[in-house]
Amino acid sequence: MGGYFGYFLVLIVGALISGAAALWVRSSYARYSQKRSTSGLTGAQVARMILDRNGLYDVRVEPVAGQLTDHYDPSAKVVRLSEGNFAKS
């Protein structure tokens, strides 16, 4: 019975740390997503510029539904930006 307590404690501590990290990421995103880019460029334009400057002309940039859903899909060679990041400057 004593061994199970240790596993349970590790599980609870891990869940608390994970939850705290998720809250921190969401609050930071909410705060900084309200600020406009000083360049006036959209996320899609910036992503395209970064890709082009590194010779990655065959990688597309597309919008994807949701928030905090930005990712790169190597099998499709696509950078997907959440709709807000894609269109907002």
Looking at the structure of the chain, the number of domains it has is: 2
In whole angstroms, what is the distance from residue 39 CA to residue 33 CA? 15
pLDDT at 1 (0 to 100): 55
The answer on 74 and 52 residing in a single domain is yes
The answer on 29 and 72 residing in a single domain is no
Q: What average pLDDT does the chain have? A: 91
The answer on 45 and 85 residing in a single domain is yes
35: left (phi over 0), alpha (psi -120 to 50) or beta: beta
Its domain, for residue 87, covers: 37-89
For 16-75, the pLDDT digits (tens) are: 999 999 999 989 988 888 888 788 899 999 999 999 999 999 999 999 999 889 999 999
Name which residue leads in pLDDT, 2 or 11.
Answer: 11
Mean pLDDT of 2-12: 86
With beta carbons less than 8 A apart as the criterion, state whether 36 and 55 touch: no
pLDDT at 71 (0 to 100): 96
With beta carbons less than 8 A apart as the criterion, state whether 78 and 72 touch: yes
In whole angstroms, what is the distance from residue 48 CA to residue 41 CA? 11
With beta carbons less than 8 A apart as the criterion, state whether 3 and 46 touch: no
The answer on 62 and 27 residing in a single domain is no
